[in-house]
């Protein structure tokens, strides 16, 4: 008992500071999402936002902004800075247009928002709908660990769960991973570029820069943002970027019930398919908050978890760009964090995946004017790629409708929640019928990290 108490105390002491930052991040995410969410219009109208002033800190590194980007100098980037006019969506894509993914369905009819068709935005998706009832059937036959939800997805908020983090495979507390987690690109000096939490009023500026520099990225999109700015999601997809699931309301998934996790993933998956006509086979948990229960649910629903690079030696490859938006640091400090990431990347034998965000004007300015520019001029040279590409996955396997993998997902998934199963792009099987795949569910080695690349290759290659 004394040993257990000491373990709990030690866990609390180690994570208390980190938890304070995570709580601040959580608050600013939901505040920003509320501020950037139009309460009536869902036609892509843009809005500007502000937050409280940041504390001042001294730093030595002050790079110049990238020419022609309209981004302020790094020393001027801070919470509460003057906002700029947002850019209109530049792409116009007609129904029936052919996407850049070989074999993908043509673009569907334009999305029209009807409140009765969707859960309330930025709230945990309800579980009492017919759609969720159908999506829960996707878990049948899969081993979903009987782990109780954490209190709030944080270590300090749930010391009992934190003390058992290694057994739970809880990434939030201790960075515990499993072989099915995607954590880094395999090739040295390859950066898996990703942006979370959009699409937002500022995503267009980022897309324009990525196109100019011929960079593709993976966008982990929030369902509540998808139904709000469908044209931006279309532009991301049609410009060749990868689209992945980032839940409906951006809550820590380990804090939700199994039914709620299914609803969060299912509604986001459905929103993406409604707008694009394709269903992602990957996801990223908000805050990286994942454990063995959440992993099993995601995999059963046909989505491989993608996190970002982190190790005891290098720390997390998180730019902490959100801290600038939250008023915790200023631009130069965030950029120094990024410079440390680049330095650590050169010491790895593999590539890496970096966490950035396109929800805030500040984080887009950081990326467009500073971090991406620094990466493009880095010595030794870095290869910037979307995560699926850096993992050498066939592009078609990133979406259910074009997936040619015969082993994942092994059971069909019901993307629309209408009782009709889609298996590797094939439809027509009732959710009450047996699947025609013939293969057993890929064994998920929840209690080992050995052979991660081999398992991931099996899932999406």
The active-site residue, picked from 26, 122, 181, 196, is: 196
**Closest CA relative to residue 345, chosen from 366, 324, 371, 368:** 371
Both tokens of 191, joined, read 């950066």
Q: Which residues, listed in sequence order, are joined to residue 190 by a DSSP beta bridge? A: 383
**Closest CA relative to residue 101, chosen from 388, 455, 412:** 388
CA–CA gap between residue 196 and residue 213 (Å, rounded): 20
Angle (CA) 189-191-194 rounded to 5° is 175
Helix residue spans in 1-150 (DSSP H)? 2-36, 130-136
Q: Which residues, listed in sequence order, are joined to residue 423 by a DSSP beta bridge? A: 426
The active-site residue, picked from 25, 176, 246, 357, is: 357
- The helix/strand/coil state of 335 is helix
The continuous run of DSSP H or E covering 354 comes out as strand 352-357
The continuous run of DSSP H or E covering 388 comes out as helix 387-390
CA–CA gap between residue 323 and residue 23 (Å, rounded): 11
Conformation bin of residue 422: beta by default, left when phi > 0, alpha when psi is -120 to 50: beta
The continuous run of DSSP H or E covering 390 comes out as helix 387-390
DSSP state of 249: S
Q: Which residues, listed in sequence order, are joined to residue 219 by a DSSP beta bridge? A: 195, 243
**Closest CA relative to residue 152, chosen from 23, 33, 16:** 23
Active site residue 196: yes
Q: What is the CA radius of gyration of the chain?
A: 21
Q: Is the dihedral of CA 333, 318, 294, 118 positive or negative?
A: positive
Beta-strand runs (E) in 197-340: 218-221, 242-245, 282-283, 304-305, 310-311, 315-316
How many CB atoms neighbour CB 191 within 10 A?
25
Active site residue 321: no
Q: Give CA separation, 432 vs 114, 130, 153, 424, in Å.
A: 29, 14, 34, 18
**Closest CA relative to residue 330, chosen from 32, 79, 60:** 79
Q: Is the dihedral of CA 344, 350, 351, 352 positive or negative?
A: negative
Conformation bin of residue 101: beta by default, left when phi > 0, alpha when psi is -120 to 50: beta
- The residues assigned a catalytic role are 196, 357
């Amino acid at each position: 008992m004394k040993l257990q108490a000491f373990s709990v105390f030690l866990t609390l002491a180690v994570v208390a500071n980190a938890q304070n930052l995570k709580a601040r991040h959580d608050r600013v995410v939901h505040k920003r999402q509320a501020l950037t969410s139009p309460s009536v219009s869902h036609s892509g109208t843009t809005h500007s936002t502000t937050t409280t002033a940041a504390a001042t800190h001294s730093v030595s590194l002050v790079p110049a902004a990238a020419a022609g980007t309209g981004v302020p100098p790094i020393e001027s980037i801070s919470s509460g800075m003057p906002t700029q006019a947002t850019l209109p969506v530049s792409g116009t894509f007609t129904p029936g247009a052919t996407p850049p993914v070989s074999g993908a369905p043509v673009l569907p009819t334009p999305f029209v928002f009807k409140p009765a068709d969707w859960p309330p935005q930025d709230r945990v998706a309800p579980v009492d709908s017919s759609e969720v009832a159908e999506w829960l059937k996707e878990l049948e036959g899969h081993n979903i660990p009987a782990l109780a939800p954490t209190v709030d997805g944080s270590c300090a908020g749930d010391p009992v769960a934190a003390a058992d983090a290694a057994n739970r495979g809880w990434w939030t507390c201790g960075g515990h991973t499993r072989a099915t987690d995607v954590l880094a690109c395999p090739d040295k000096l390859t950066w898996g570029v990703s942006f979370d939490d959009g699409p937002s009023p500022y995503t267009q500026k980022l897309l324009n820069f990525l196109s100019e520099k011929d960079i593709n990225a993976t966008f982990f999109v929030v369902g509540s943002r998808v139904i709000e700015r469908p044209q931006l999601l279309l532009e991301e997809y049609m410009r060749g970027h990868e689209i992945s699931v980032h839940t409906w309301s951006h809550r820590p998934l380990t804090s939700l019930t199994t039914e709620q996790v299914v609803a969060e993933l299912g509604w986001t998956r459905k929103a993406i398919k409604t707008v694009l006509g394709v269903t992602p086979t990957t996801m990223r948990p908000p805050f990286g908050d994942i454990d063995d229960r959440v992993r099993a649910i995601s995999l059963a629903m046909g989505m491989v978890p993608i996190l970002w690079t982190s190790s005891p030696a290098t720390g997390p490859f998180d730019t902490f760009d959100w801290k600038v938006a939250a008023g915790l640091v200023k631009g130069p400090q965030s950029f120094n964090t990024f410079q440390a990431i680049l330095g650590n990347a050169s010491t790895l034998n593999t590539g890496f995946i970096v966490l950035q965000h396109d929800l805030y004007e500040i984080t887009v300015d950081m990326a467009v004017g500073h971090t991406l520019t620094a990466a493009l001029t880095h010595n030794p040279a870095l290869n910037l790629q979307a995560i699926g590409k850096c993992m050498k996955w066939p592009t078609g396997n990133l979406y259910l409708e074009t997936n040619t993998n015969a082993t994942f997902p092994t059971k069909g998934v019901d993307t629309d929640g209408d009782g009709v199963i889609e298996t590797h792009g094939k439809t027509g099987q009732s959710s009450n019928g047996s699947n025609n795949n013939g293969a057993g569910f890929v064994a998920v080695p929840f209690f080992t990290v050995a052979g991660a690349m081999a398992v991931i290759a099996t899932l999406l290659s």
